[in-house]
Amino acid sequence: MRIILFLISISLFSCKQEKIYKIQEKSDFKSDVTLSFGSCNNQNIKNNLFKEILKNKPTAFVWGGDIIYSDTKNPQVLKENYELFKKDS
């Protein structure tokens, strides 16, 4: 008898209400501002992200990292690396 009561009490206490989460997939809210963020660009690798960023028509673009990777003190090499970046953007 104790075992039956024990099993019944376990089954009653282990019952939980299922949590239901609603996810709103699309909002009717229209923003006046669209921000885009970018960082860490390697000028030696083709970058296709700028075309995708422009599709969102950003109001502003915040660059939070290296525009180019150029560990040099030579101004000519630095200029060449920036030129590579400009060709790709």
Q: Is residue 59 part of a domain?
A: yes
**Is position 20 within any domain?**
no
Q: Which residues contact 42 (CB under 8 A, 6 or more apart)?
A: 68, 69
Per-residue pLDDT tens over the stretch 56-80: 999 999 999 888 999 999 999 999 9
Count of domains forming the chain: 1
**Domain carrying residue 73:** 33-89
Grade residue 15 by pLDDT with cuts at 50, 70 and 90.
Answer: low
Q: Residue 11 falls within a domain, yes or no?
A: no
Asked if residue 62 is part of any domain, the answer here is yes
The 10 Å CB-count burial string (b at 16+, else e) for 4-19 is eeeeeeeeeeeeeeee
Residue 4 lies in a domain: no
pLDDT exceeds cutoff 90 at 47: no
pLDDT of 12 higher than 70: no
Phi, psi of 84 (to 5 degrees): -60, -45
Task: Report if residue 80 sits inside a domain.
Answer: yes
